[in-house]
Structure 1
Amino acid sequence: MAHIRKRGKTYSYAIDIGHDPLTGKRKQISKGGFIKKKDAEAAARKIELLLDENRFIVLSKEIFSEYIVNWFENHYKNRIKQTSATNSQYIIEKHILAENPFATKEIAKVTTADIDLFYSLKLKENYSTSYIRKMHQLLNQAFGQAVKWKKIAVNPVADADPPSVKYEEMSIWSLDAIHEFLQHCKGERHYLTFLLAIYTGMRRGEILGLQWRDIDFDKKMIHVSRSLAHVSKSGYLLTTLKTKNSRRQIPIPEFVLHELRMHKQRQEEWKGLVGELYEDNDLVICTNTGTLQDPRNVVRVMKRLVKSTKVPNIRFHDIRHTHASILISEGVDIVKISRRLGHANPKITLEFYAHLLPNADNDIADIFHKAIQTNTK
C-alpha cells in the first residue's frame, strides 16, 4: 500500500516492493513533486496496478561487478558441482571482472553491444572459441537471473553473437599403431590405463576414478559413475559426473575382463607386500600405496612410451577419438556410439565425428526408387 506524504507544498508517494533477493535489503520506490494529493494518489495507484500484474520493474543501479559476485556466491555456486563452481569462479575473476570493459557499469545499462565487444576482445587475446562460449554461458545465466529478479527489463546477452565453436583437428591412431603401442607398454604400471582408454573410450578422469565395485565381471560391464577431478585448494578428488548421460554402462570384451582380473591379482599381491602403508580406496588405477593417481603422471608415461614406440604423437584424449573413429569405420550406429562415450546427446557426437562418417549419398536415389517401386506393385 502506498504511503502519501506532504513535504512543504508538494506531495510524494512511497511504495514497498519487497526485499532484494541477494542482499535481503528492503526495496522501496518513491516519487515527489505533486502539487495535489489526488495526483500523488493516482500516480501511486498506477504503480500498484503494475505491481499487482507483476509488470513493474525498477531498473537496478547496482554495478555489474558487484551483482555478478553476489549472484555467484549467493545463488549460482551452490547449485552446481564443486569442480564446475571452481572453473566458473576463475572465469569470473580473470575475465568477467578483471578484464571486462563493462564491469563498472550499472547492470541495467549494459547493452548487447557491450557483450559483443567483450567477445571480440577475447578473440583478439587468442582465447579459444569454446572458452569464450563458457564466458557467454555464465553471462547469459547471470543476466537471465537479473531479469527474473526484476533488476533489469531484458537480458542483453540473449541477442549477443558469441563466436561459433571451432573444433581442433583431431589426431587418431591406426589399428597398427594401437597394436604396436599396447605391445610396447605391456608390463608398464599404466598398461591397463591405456588399455581401458583404447577399448572403452572413457575419459582420463573416468578411468582414474574407476573402482572395483564399478566392474560387473558376470555381465561384462563397466559402470561409469564418477571421475577424478582437480578442485581448487583441495587437490584431486573423486567427483560425481556432470550429466546423467555421463553416468553409463560400457560393455567390454572378455580380453579386457581377463586383463582386469590379472591387474586385481597383482594389486592384491602388492597390498600384502606394502601392508599397513596401503590405503585401500577400492581404486582400479592407483599409486603403489593405493591413493589417487595424479593424471599428470599418466601423461608423462604416455609421452615416454609414444617416443620410444615411435607411433604418432597424440594426446591422451585423442585415444577417445580413436575409439570413436574405429566404431564409426565399423558401421556402428551413431546413437550407440554417443551413449558409449557419454555425450549429452547424439548431436554432439555428430559435430565431432561427422567428417568420419562414410558418404553413402550416392545410394539414396536408388534406395528411394526401390521403395517406391516396391510399394506400387
Structure 2
Amino acid sequence: MKGHIYKRGKTYTYVIDVGRDPETGQRKQKSKGGFQKKKEAEQALRKALDVLEKEDFHSPSKENFSTFMQKWLNTHYRFRVSETTTSISTYTINKHLLNNNPFLNKQISKITTRDIDNFYGYKLNEGLSTSTVRKLHNLLNKALGQAQKWNMIISNPVASADPPSIKKAEFLIWNSADINKFLITIRNERLYILFFLAIHTGMRKGELLALKWSDINLAKRIINVRRSLSNIPGKGYLHKELKTKKSKRNIIISKDVAETLLQHRKEQEKIINEFGNAYVDNDLVICTTEGKEQDLRNVTRVTKRLIQEAGVPKIRFHDLRHTHASILLSEGIDVVEVSSRLGHTNPRTTLETYAHLVPNKNNNAADRFSKALSKDLFNG
C-alpha cells in the first residue's frame, strides 16, 4: 500500500492507493487535504497507512455471531476440553448465547463492548444468577479472543467488558435432629446408602455415584475418592477421573459408616443372586437394581420426594455436603483438615465458604496482644 503528497494551492493533500475494486477493476484511492504544512501531511499519511494496513491484515470478518459460535464450539473448543465440559458449555451456549441474544445475528467484527455489557444486564434482568452470567462472560471471552487470534476481528470487545461480581448464594443446612429424622424416615429406601454417605462423608453426588467397592477398605475404614460420574447427552455415562491431587483423596470413615456399608453390601449380594446373569456387575456401590449407573437427575427428584416425606427443611442434595462440613467445623475440626476431606484445592475455599460457621477462638486476641507488648516492655 503506497501513498504520496502533493500541493494543491496553498495546502497539502495526501493520497493513498488502496488497490482496485474487485468488481469494476477501477483504481481505489483515499485522500485528505487541507494541511497547512507538508510535514503535517506526511505525519497524517503515516498514521493513515498504519490504520489501513492493520485493517487489511485483520480482514474483519462478515460472519455473524451465531454462525461463528457454532463453528468455534464444534471445530475448536470441544477438542480442547473434556467431554463433560463440552456438554455443559454446549447447553449454556445454546440456551443463552444462541437464544434471546440481542447481537445473535450481528457480524462479530461489529460487536462492541457496549453490546456485551448490555447483554449482561439483559441476562441479569431475565433472572440469571451472577455466577451464570460470569460463565457466559468466560465463554464469550474465549470465543471472541480466538476470533482475534484468527484475525477475524481487530480487538476482542469482551476483554474490556464489565461482568458482574459473583454473589454467593446462601445455602441451607440441617442440624442433627433434621439428619436423624430424615435418615430414620428413609431407612427402607433403595437409595438410603447414597444419602447416608453424603451426610457422613461430604462427598459430591457424582463422586458417590461413581464409587466402587474396590475403592473402599472396610478393614482400615478408608474410602478412596478417585472419579466422578457424569452423563453426556448422546453418549451415556462417563466415569471421569478427578483432575487435581486435592480432589483425589482418602476419606476416613467411622465404625458406624463401615458397618452400614457392610450391611449394604450383603443386601446388594442378595439382589445379584436373585437377578443372576441379568445383573450387570460394575462393582458400583450405588446403582440401579440391575447394577447399572444411577441416573443423576433421578437423584434430584428422589431427594425432593424424600425430604417432603420426612418433613425436614427443604435443601438441595449438594447441601448435604455443606451440612457435613458445617458440623465438622462447629465441632472445632481444623479448617485444613475439613478442606482435605472435602477435596478443596485450597483451604481458603473452605474458609471463604464456611467462615461464618468457624468457632471464634480469638475473642481474647486483643487482650493477649496487649499482654505480649507489656511483657516485652517489662522485660526491657
TM-score (norm: length of structure 1): 0.79
Query: Is the CA contact (8 Å cut-off) linking 1:206 and 1:227 kept in structure 2?
Result: yes
Shift of 1:32: 6.4
Shift of 1:218: 4.3
Query: Is the CA contact (8 Å cut-off) linking 2:19 and 2:29 kept in structure 1?
Result: no
Shift of 1:211: 0.9
Match of 2:109 in 1: 108
Shift of 1:242: 5.6
Query: Is the CA contact (8 Å cut-off) linking 1:60 and 1:106 kept in structure 2?
Result: no
Letter in 2 for 1:256: V
**What's the CA shift string for 1:21-57, capped at 9, x where partnerless?**
xxxxxxxxxx9659xxxxxxxx9xx98xx99xxx995
Match of 1:336 in 2: 337
Count matched residues: 342
Moved more, 178-187 or 202-211: 178-187
Match of 1:346 in 2: 347
Letter in 1 for 2:155: V
Query: Is the CA contact (8 Å cut-off) linking 2:218 and 2:258 kept in structure 1?
Result: yes
Match of 1:145 in 2: 146
Q: CA 1:284 to 1:142, structure 2 compared with 1: closer, same or farther past 3 Å?
A: same
Letter in 2 for 1:320: R
Letter in 2 for 1:60: P
Letter in 1 for 2:208: I
- Secondary structure at the aligned position of 1:210 is classed as coil
Unaligned runs of 5+ in 1: 3-9, 15-30, 35-42
- Secondary structure at the aligned position of 1:158 is classed as helix
Higher Cα Rg, which structure: 2
Q: CA 1:244 to 1:78, structure 2 compared with 1: closer, same or farther past 3 Å?
A: farther
Q: CA 1:295 to 1:104, structure 2 compared with 1: closer, same or farther past 3 Å?
A: closer
Q: CA 1:59 to 1:13, structure 2 compared with 1: closer, same or farther past 3 Å?
A: closer
Shift of 1:360: 4.7
**What's the CA shift string for 1:130-159, capped at 9, x where partnerless?**
211111110111122233334334332222
Unaligned runs of 5+ in 2: 2-15, 21-26, 31-45
Question: Does 2:172 correspond to 1:171?
Answer: yes
Letter in 2 for 1:221: I
Letter in 1 for 2:251: I
Looking at structure 1, the residues matched to 29 and 156 of structure 2 have their Cα atoms a distance apart, in angstroms, of 33
Pairwise CA RMSD of aligned residues?
Answer: 3.2
**What's the CA shift string for 1:314-354, capped at 9, x where partnerless?**
22211111111111212223233223222343343333322
Q: Matched residues, percent identical? A: 49
Query: Is the CA contact (8 Å cut-off) linking 1:57 and 1:152 kept in structure 2?
Result: no
Query: Is the CA contact (8 Å cut-off) linking 2:247 and 2:344 kept in structure 1?
Result: yes
Which residues of 2 match residues 128-143 of structure 1 at below 5 A? Answer: 128-143=129-144
Match of 2:358 in 1: 357
**What's the CA shift string for 1:195-232, capped at 9, x where partnerless?**
11001111112111111111133442222222222222
Question: Does 2:188 correspond to 1:187?
Answer: yes
Q: CA 1:138 to 1:12, structure 2 compared with 1: closer, same or farther past 3 Å?
A: closer
Shift of 1:299: 3.8
Match of 2:13 in 1: none
Match of 2:91 in 1: 90
Q: CA 1:70 to 1:299, structure 2 compared with 1: closer, same or farther past 3 Å?
A: closer
Which residues of 2 match residues 111-122 of structure 1 at below 5 A? Answer: 111-122=112-123
Match of 1:263 in 2: 264
- Secondary structure at the aligned position of 2:293 is classed as coil
Looking at structure 1, the residues matched to 375 and 143 of structure 2 have their Cα atoms a distance apart, in angstroms, of 57
Looking at structure 1, the residues matched to 273 and 247 of structure 2 have their Cα atoms a distance apart, in angstroms, of 35
Query: Is the CA contact (8 Å cut-off) linking 1:57 and 1:151 kept in structure 2?
Result: no
Letter in 1 for 2:232: V
Match of 2:284 in 1: 283
Looking at structure 2, the residues matched to 98 and 297 of structure 1 have their Cα atoms a distance apart, in angstroms, of 27
- Secondary structure at the aligned position of 1:127 is classed as coil
Question: Does 2:79 correspond to 1:78?
Answer: yes
TM-score (norm: length of structure 2): 0.79
Match of 2:60 in 1: 60
